[in-house]
Amino acid sequence: MLLSTITLPTVEEDFRINAYFSSVPTRMSLLLAKSMFF
* C-alpha to C-alpha distance for 27 and 29, rounded to whole angstroms: 6
Nearest Cα neighbor of 14 from 4, 22, 24, 25 is 22
- Residues 20, 15, 10, CA angle at the centre, nearest 5°? 125
At 4-27, the pLDDT tens digits run 555 556 778 888 877 877 788 888
* C-alpha to C-alpha distance for 11 and 33, rounded to whole angstroms: 33
Query: What pLDDT score was predicted for residue 22?
Result: 78
* pTM recorded for the entire structure: 0.41
How many alpha carbons fall within 13 Å on the CB side of residue 18? 6
Q: What is the DSSP letter of 11?
A: H
At 24-38, the pLDDT tens digits run 888 888 888 888 776
Where residue 2 falls among pLDDT bands split at 50, 70, 90? low
